[in-house]
Amino acid sequence: MTSSVEVTFVGPNAQTRGRTARAALSETVLQAAQAAGVDIAATCGGRGRCRSCRVKVLKGDVPPPTVQDTIQLGHEEVHEQFRLSCQTRIVSDCTVLVAPPKTEVGHQILASGRALDSAGVALDSGVEKRVIVAKAPADEHHQTSDVEEMLTALAVDVSREIPLEIMRKLPAVLRAQKGLLTVTTFNQNVIDVEAGDTSAHKYGMAFDIGTTSIVGTLLDLVTGEELASVGNVNPQATYGGDLMSRIAYAQFDEKKLTTLRVRALNAINDFIKEACEQAKVAPEHIYKIVVVGNTCMHHIFLGIDVSYVGLAPYAPVVRDPLVLAAKELPLKAAPNARVCLLPIVAGFVGADTMGAVLATRIYDSDKIRVMVDIGTNGEVVMGSKDKLMACSAPAGPALEGAQIRHGMRGAVGAIEKVQIDTDVHCQVIGNAPAIGICGSGLIDAVAKMLDAEVVNSSGLLRRRDREALPPAIRERLIDNPHGCEFMLVKATDAGKDEAVTLTQTDIRQLQLAKGAIYSGIMMLQKVMGVTDQQIEEIMLCGGFGNYINIESAVRIRLLPPLPLHKITYFGNAAHLGAQLALLSETERARTYTIAQRIEHVALATRPEFQDVFVDAITFSSPATAQASAAAGAQ
């Protein structure tokens, strides 16, 4: 009996059209696809908790459906030979149709959310360009060299440890224009030499490598001016929508770690080229790049094993700030750059948090403020200039639309706002027919469903006494074999062949996600002894945080019940902090000092955390929830 079979992948694009691979009988279709270089999105990391990796078996034996197949796809799709590729073991030679990804265009990728204000920030990027005239050695009896002549002409204190690639360039450069050349240094280390005067060209880039998206900005290091902005979805998302899924994928497997790393490096290289084309800048004139990201993204970008980051005590391999030559990584698109990574606080409170702390200036606040980065891997920092505490709040990808039956990212066709009166009214990104719902729409919908008594404070969809609801609302509550769901957009009005609904499972996923963020805030309040009244401001950071309805976020207890004017949008603070560190070595050095001050709170090790989290997942305080249940709201 053969131990391997042949799998042919077909699909709507060139990458999957007729690609054939050998696979072991014990492998899943997803594993075979990944080995063959065929992209199948696995948002939940291959755990059968979403439907993003669905495929259709066109030819060959169809394995019996698993429980996860039935739960995620439903009986009808299972009957039509659809399966979750992560759950389907290959049993014979087969042909598999890779289901086309959801039509998501025009993603809302937030670069910074606010303009970089460099007022009060010293423009001391560490990059200096000096124009000199150096004479090439001409006297055989004069014991000198090209390097010595260059250093003598510089007449400043720079390192005499000249990189090999500079020594290789120097002979031709020194003699090209009668000794006129430009020497570029970063923190007194020579990083480039060019013939002639190129001192007017000095650029850098700042990148935020997020779990969901990557954004970058090209800046003029002389003026601080933004020249180009780039960004898109993080291509690693194919291998898992959250950090733990990606860590599990690469754990103790160097080849898979390399796969994730190459995805990130290729994306950054492409973004550098795109930004340079936009601004008409030579990539060789990018001399400094600052990168921020959570601990997992930071390590993967560097090719550092993340296996133990995913295991208690979740310690990073390195916490210190780093400076590397772009060629070491390699970032081939910016050959002369030095790549700077900000420090990590601890665990999953990473370099992106340090960028956000730098941008928000929470470290210098007279009053207690809270910085909340709402995303797949959320972080909370609370305090003032006297004391700072931080924790990681792993919300998972539900707030980005993943693991929600009709969830999607913030793109054209996504429901982003909801109103409920005698009926349901949805606002859709791009004013297009709805094809799904994004995170901000999910928060808004559930908040309005709570007000309309469609869902109760414990998160249960209304099953009894529906006669009290308006007729149009009552008709939208649908009972099926899998449970109850609430129809937001009817199939006749949707941009696809089915209605856009919220299921009971969707609401539970939202509760877990928002509970992680809220419990993080509550725990820091407990540890620091801070009441709601003592909080001067909550700053919402991150790409997702900029789009949510604050009133709805408070209504579902994603955020504490503060007066709404005390909750503000800050935009992508991590990226903004990266730009500050790019323009100013003073600011970059400050991140190390601040990181030493921040006290990390490991939530799971606190004995009271379980009770806090259970409280946090409800949509109202326990007393209100009990009263609601007693009234038979469900």
pLDDT at 530: 96
CA–CA separation, 198 and 179 (whole Å): 14
Is 3.10.20.30 the CATH number for 4-98? yes
Amino acid at 326: A
Q: Would you mind telling me the total number of residues written for the chain in this entry? A: 634
Tokens in use for 127?
A: 């990059």
State the pLDDT at residue 14: 44
- Alpha helices (H) in 495-572, listed in sequence order: 504-528, 550-555
This prediction has a pTM of: 0.81
Which of the two residues, 88 and 633, has the higher pLDDT score? 88
For 609, phi then psi, to 5°, come to -65, -40
Domain boundaries, the chain: 4-98, 127-195, 361-397+511-616, 398-501
Q: Which of 86-95, 414-423, 453-462 has the lowest mean pLDDT?
A: 86-95
Sheet containing 424-428, strands listed edge to edge, beginning at the edge strand earlier in sequence? 424-428, 414-420, 436-437
DSSP assignment of 122-182 equals: ----SEEEEEEE-PPP--TTS---HHHHHHHHH-S---S---HHHHHHHHHHHHHTTTEEE
Q: Inform me whether the pLDDT recorded for 448 exceeds 90.
A: yes
Give the bridge partners for 310, in sequence order: none
**One-letter amino acid for residue 8 of the chain:** T
Q: Choose the weakest-confidence range: 118-127, 162-171, 469-478.
A: 118-127
pLDDT digits (tens, 9 = 90+) for 32-50: 888 888 888 887 778 777 8
pLDDT of residue 631: 42
Residue 361: the pLDDT is 92
Region label for 506, one of left (φ > 0), alpha (ψ between -120 and 50) or beta (otherwise)? alpha
Residue 282 CB neighbour total at 10 angstroms? 12
Nearest Cα neighbor of 350 from 295, 398, 389 is 295
**Average of per-residue pLDDT across 94-101:** 78
What whole-number distance in Å separates Cα of residue 476 and Cα of residue 482?
16
Is it the case that residue 4 has pLDDT exceeding 70? Answer: yes
Q: Is the dihedral of CA 267, 272, 275, 278 positive or negative?
A: negative
Residue 24 DSSP label: E
Least confident of 258-262, 391-395, 424-428: 391-395
Q: Candidates 3.40.50.1220, 3.30.43.10, 3.10.20.880, 3.40.50.2300; correct CATH number of 127-195?
A: 3.10.20.880
pLDDT tops 90 at residue 353: yes
In tens, the pLDDT along 294-308 reads 999 999 999 999 999
Give me the torsion for CA of 38, 39, 43, 44, rounded to 10°.
Answer: 10
pLDDT of amino acid 625: 40
Give the neighbor-by-neighbor strand order of the sheet with 567-571: 567-571, 537-541, 369-373, 378-383, 388-393, 599-600
Residues 6+ apart with CB under 8 A from 263: 234, 235, 236, 238
**Confidence class for position 499, pLDDT limits 50, 70, 90:** very high
pLDDT at 434 over 90: yes
Question: Which residue shows structure tokens 């429980």?
Answer: 67
One CATH from 3.40.50.300, 2.60.40.10, 3.30.420.40, 3.50.50.60 for 361-397+511-616:
3.30.420.40
The mean pLDDT of 230-249, rounded to a whole number, is 88
**What is the band of 110 on the pLDDT scale with cuts at 50, 70, 90?**
very low
pLDDT at 291: 98
Q: What percent of the chain has pLDDT over 90?
A: 63
User: Span 101-130, mean pLDDT?
Assistant: 63
Whose structure tokens read 């009808």? Answer: 76
CB 219 within 8 A of CB 583: yes
Q: Look at 238 and 273; give whichever has higher pLDDT.
A: 273
Pairing of strands 338-341, 286-293: parallel
Whether 267 contacts 230, CB under 8 Å: no
Confidence of residue 157 (pLDDT cuts 50, 70, 90): confident
What SS3 class is residue 542?
coil
% of the chain exceeding 70 in pLDDT: 92
Same topology, domains 127-195 and 361-397+511-616? Answer is no
Indicate the pLDDT class of residue 117, thresholds 50, 70 and 90: low
In this predicted structure, the answer to whether residue 467 has a pLDDT above a threshold of 50 is yes
Lowest mean pLDDT among 345-359, 455-469, 521-535, 537-551: 537-551
Query: What's the mean pLDDT in 142-158?
Result: 90
Q: How far is CA 182 from CA 144, 194, 198, 300, 453, in A?
A: 20, 5, 6, 35, 70
Tens digit of each residue's pLDDT (9 = 90 or more) over 266-289 = 999 999 999 999 999 999 999 999
Residue among 474, 471, 479, 481 nearest 454 (CA): 474
**What single-letter amino acid sits at 348?**
F
Distances (CA, A) of 451 to 515, 544, 552: 19, 24, 10
- When pLDDT is cut at 50, 70 and 90, the band that residue 486 belongs to is very high
Q: What tokens were used for 147?
A: 């390097």
Three-class DSSP category at 297: helix
Confidence band, pLDDT 50/70/90 cuts, at residue 447: very high
Residue 294 in tokens: 């959570």
User: Hey, what are 192's tokens?
Assistant: 């480039």
In whole numbers, what is the pLDDT of the chain averaged over residues? 88
> Is pLDDT of 88 > 50?
yes
Asked whether the predicted pLDDT for residue 135 surpasses 70, the reply is: yes
pLDDT of res. 75: 67
**pLDDT band for position 403 (cuts 50, 70, 90):** confident
For residue 62, what pLDDT is reported?
Answer: 77
